[in-house]
Structure 1
Amino acid sequence: MLIFGHRGSAGTHPENTMISFEEAARAGADGIELDIQLSKDGVPVVIHDEKLDRTTNGTGWVKDRTFYELKQLDAGAWFSDKFKGTRIPSLEEVLVWAQGNSLLINLELKTGIILYPQIEEKVIRLVEQYGLTGRVIISSFNHYSLVETRRIHRTIKTAILFSDGLYEPWKYAKTVEADGLHCHWPIAAYPVILDGAKQAGMPIRAYTVNDEARMREFMTNGVSAIFTDWPEKAVRIRRG
């Protein structure tokens, strides 16, 4: 079972920041998960919420700030004073860094509320530019984004995100030409889902798995990967 650091190492570091991704790599995670939106001037940036209020000292919508303006915000002090001055990274910054390691990279397109124009193309072109198409999975709760991703690029991996009991999701995923199932962790505990996905040859990756007992269960029941805020803990359990 693979371990993805959810927004890096979000349990120990401010989420979706370079220091959080670096910590996940140090902890021995197999991959990282991060969230992509666009600045007002169309730059792909790494932040989860559509609004800035929770994880920065800014307010309002990400979409209403230029990249320069977003870069002036503090994205670490909310988590701890010792991370004060941490900045919102661009996707390009993460991809440049990723060239120096072998991590898998799950890019979640945050298009469920804001339909960012050409976000799929902008993201794919950057991934291609840095030669990382073979290490990237693009996921989204907005499956129209996955269809657009597949239209632009025929082989890059995609995965549907879903949180409820979608019937035979492996069949549905094939209708949008997706390669994987990214589901809320309770769904990944259903034997009928696990068995059906296995027979269909489609990996299931569960989010967000932070409980030790649940980690141990998923390491033995056929789940392909977990996303966790605590990658160091998950790696330790897997080694044990």
Structure 2
Amino acid sequence: MTKIFAHRGSAGTHPENTMISFYEAERVGADGIELDVQMTKDGKLVVIHDETIDRTTDGTGWVKDFTYQELQAFNAVYKFANQYGVCRIPLLEEVLEWISPTSLLLNIELKNGLIAYHKLEEKVIEMIKYYRLESRVILSSFNHNSMARCHQMAPDIATALLYMEPLYQPWQYARLLGASGLHPYYRTLSPLFVQKAHANQIAVRPFTINHERLMKQMFEHRVDAIFTDYPLKAKQVKK
């Protein structure tokens, strides 16, 4: 049964990667939530997609150049300013504390492709273990070296490889790195691809599936999960 992950929360209807976006995803019955993690100047783990705060907040600059306290001055309401008030950039810890008593799954994307945040993997894994969420978390990244490291450090936490271009036999590559999932750009997918990945015990979770026609197609392909900005719509289409 294909699961529905709310991409950066219910990002199509609420400010992405904010607590209200995650609350909405739970409210509409998503199976899980996807979010992105970066690190502040003082080593705090914050939930934000871009390496800079320019697109999603009313500030400018690199996440790595601000302390967590400084980042709290900015409003991450993004393009929904006329609908919602002030939304702060959350700490990963805040999200884990909130998600812990729920039954939601969680995909944490490490944003370490452009900036090699010092000890990002260690800190994220430590926090997942603190909240005992090992069995409900999938770690993913476009940085596959990082995923191999995560698997070595914490083989009990699932890892998945994000990628954009078609790869040759990516299920073999995934197994080589100890990953249990592939998170491909949906255009690289075919029914045969899904079958082959499944034959190799590798889960397939394409991104980002926002249109009804695409949702239907992915459900028909029997992918393990989809990432969507519109979890409510995806649930309705799935029905």
Q: TM-score range by the shorter chain?
A: over 0.9
1:79 CA displacement: 2.4
Find the residue that maps to 1:81 and give its secondary structure. Answer: coil
TM-score by length of 1: 0.97
AA of the residue aligned to 1:238: K
Instruction: Kindly indicate whether the alpha-carbon contact (under 8 Å) linking 2:39 and 2:117 is maintained by their aligned counterparts in 1.
Output: yes
- The C-alpha deviation readout for 1:7-64, integer Å capped at 9, x for no partner, is 0000000000000001011111000000000000111100000011000011010000
Pairing 1:68–2:103 present: no
- The C-alpha deviation readout for 1:61-108, integer Å capped at 9, x for no partner, is 000000101112100154222323110000000000001211000000
Report the count of equivalent residues. 238
The residue aligned with 1:131 is 132
Q: CA RMSD in A?
A: 1.0
Cα distance in 2, alignment partners of residues 30 and 71 from structure 1: 29
Distance 1:77 1:36, change over 3 A: closer
AA of the residue aligned to 1:136: V
The residue aligned with 1:222 is 222
The residue aligned with 2:55 is 54
1:147-226 to 2 correspondence within 5 Å?
A: 147-188=148-189, 190-226=190-226
Cα distance in 1, alignment partners of residues 12 and 151 from structure 2: 33
Cα distance in 2, alignment partners of residues 126 and 191 from structure 1: 37
TM-score by length of 2: 0.97
Structure 1 residue ranges (4+ consecutive) displaced by more than 6 angstroms after TM superposition: none
- Counting aligned pairs with the same residue, the percent is 50
Structure 2 residues not aligned, in runs of 5+: none
Instruction: Kindly indicate whether the alpha-carbon contact (under 8 Å) linking 1:33 and 1:107 is maintained by their aligned counterparts in 2.
Output: yes
Cα distance in 2, alignment partners of residues 77 and 63 from structure 1: 20
Cα distance in 2, alignment partners of residues 219 and 172 from structure 1: 25
Instruction: Kindly indicate whether the alpha-carbon contact (under 8 Å) linking 1:185 and 1:207 is maintained by their aligned counterparts in 2.
Output: yes
Cα distance in 2, alignment partners of residues 129 and 198 from structure 1: 32
1:225 CA displacement: 0.6
The residue aligned with 2:20 is 19
Structure 1 residues not aligned, in runs of 5+: none
The residue aligned with 1:101 is 102
